[in-house]
Amino acid sequence: MKKIFYFLPLVILAILAIYLIMGLGRNPQDLPSVLINKPIPAFELAPIKGQTKGLSNLDLLGQVTLVNIFGSWCEACRLEHDLLMKISKNNLVPIYGIDWQEPNNLVGPRWLKRLGNPYTLVGDDPKSRGAIAFGVTKAPESFVIDKNGVIRFKHTGRITENTWNNTVWPIIMDLKKQ
Amino acid sequence: MTPAFFRSSCLVIALLILFPFNTNAVDPSEILGNATLEKRARHISKDLRCLVCQNQSIDDSDAPLARDLRLLVRERLIQGDTDNEVFDYVVSRYGDFVLLRPPVKAVTAILWLGPAIFVLIGFIGLLRYFRRQSKDENAEDQNT
């Protein structure tokens, strides 16, 4: 009976090892947002060059919206852009953009002109104030906001057609019904 | 190796040891005029994780997001925030993960107490081992 205790360290080690090995498979960039089910923190961004209205948290009240953090420097944003265009063309949900950390104030507007602008409003965010308000670590990131301005869902990285159909769009439809 | 070369190499190595490179990423333009506030800003920045290169503090990191966070910290200090208010501001957006020194909470208890528990287990094991050994020795003494 006492011999069982000799194996105790081994058992503890095994449990710890399994736990830690599972941790290796997780993506450290994929942080759980602490902002889920919280109102969007206040922020106010100037318009990008060529537009008259910027973006603030008050613009995101009254309807279900998708907030998308992007930058012309960001390769995954380029890949995501086609889907965002499709969403805006079909009027599925208004998309609000935060143009993050552009090297200068010309490249962002030029990028949108060349590829099309899916955003209802775009805020220029050279100092990361908008990105920090949303706890963004890298672009692209997207947030689903409900009618009351409460953050309901966060997606880190590019929204693929698959994620849109299976995850994001069902959430938006659900919130629209409420 | 000439003696002159040897001497100068020694000098270079000694200087490197005596005056290590300044490794923080703070740009001179970011530094606040108010020395007390700047000192607090540096102190806070050393405890905030850079979210891009995750094992560096924002004080060490060259990433643009780290720079913007450093500027934000300084801006909030100028506005009169206490150190804790600055930490709370960043934590409310990025979560506890942004703190390089995890807070002591119910969920992090195992993190803080774990090592102490393992040391305790080891100590108890050791104690039992020695006790048993001295008991065996006593038994042997009685046999002779």
Q: How far apart are CA A160 and CA A138, in angstroms?
A: 17
Closest CA to A91 of A65, A128, A54, A126: A65
The chain B residues in contact with chain A (CB within 8 A) are: 51-52, 54, 64-65, 68-69, 71-72, 90-95, 97
- Chain B residues whose beta carbon lies within 8 Å of the beta carbon of residue A74: none
Nearest-neighbour CA in chain B from A89: distance (Å)? 32
Nearest-neighbour CA in chain B from A9: distance (Å)? 10
User: What are B139's two structure tokens?
Assistant: 């038994």
Contact A83, A159 (CB under 8 A): yes
In terms of DSSP bridges, do strands A141-145 and A65-70 run parallel, antiparallel, or are they unpaired? antiparallel
Question: Could you tell me which chain A residue has the CA closest to the CA of B64?
Answer: A101
Residue B25 has pLDDT above 70, yes or no: yes
- What ipTM did this prediction achieve? 0.80
Q: Which single residue is written with the structure tokens 């006492």?
A: A2
Q: Which residues of chain A have pLDDT under 70?
A: 1-2, 28-32
- Chain A residues whose beta carbon lies within 8 Å of the beta carbon of residue B51: 31, 137-138
CA A47 to chain centre: 20
Q: How confident is the model at residue B137 (pLDDT cuts 50, 70, 90)?
A: confident
User: What are A120's two structure tokens?
Assistant: 């209802």
pLDDT in tens, B27-79: 777 888 888 999 999 999 999 999 888 788 999 888 899 999 999 999 999 99
pLDDT in tens, A56-73: 999 999 999 999 999 999
Closest CA to A38 of A51, A53, A20, A57: A57
Q: How far apart are CA A1 and CA A5, in angstroms?
A: 8
Of A129, A134, A137, the CB nearest to B52: A137
Residue A120's contacts (CB-CB under 8 Å, 6 or more residues apart) are A94, A95, A96
Taken in order of first residue, the domains within chain A and their CATH numbers are: 34-177 (3.40.30.10)
Mean pLDDT of chain B: 85
In order, the DSSP letters of chain B are: --HHHHHHHHHHHHHHHHS--------GGG--SSHHHHHHHHHHHHTBB-SSSTTSBTTT---HHHHHHHHHHHHHHHTT--HHHHHHHHHHHH-GGGBSS----TTTHHHHHHHHHHHHHHHHHHHHHHHHHHHHHHHHHHH-
pLDDT in tens, A70-95: 999 999 999 999 999 999 999 999 99
Q: How far apart are CA B122 and CA A173, in angstroms?
A: 56
Rg of chain A in Å (alpha carbons): 21
Name the fold adopted by B24-103.
Helicase, Ruva Protein; domain 3 (1.10.8)
pLDDT at B20: 59
Pairwise CB contact (< 8 Å): A32 & B94? no
Q: How far apart are CA A37 and CA A35, in angstroms?
A: 6
The full 3-state SS of B118-141, as one line of letters, equals HHHHHHHHHHHHHHHHHHHHHHHH
Q: How far apart are CA A34 and CA A46, in angstroms?
A: 26
Pairwise CB contact (< 8 Å): B95 & A41? no
Contact B50, B56 (CB under 8 A): yes
SS3 A131: helix
Q: Which segments within A58-103 are labelled E, that is strand? A: 65-70, 95-100
* Domain ranges (residues) in chain B: 24-103, 104-144
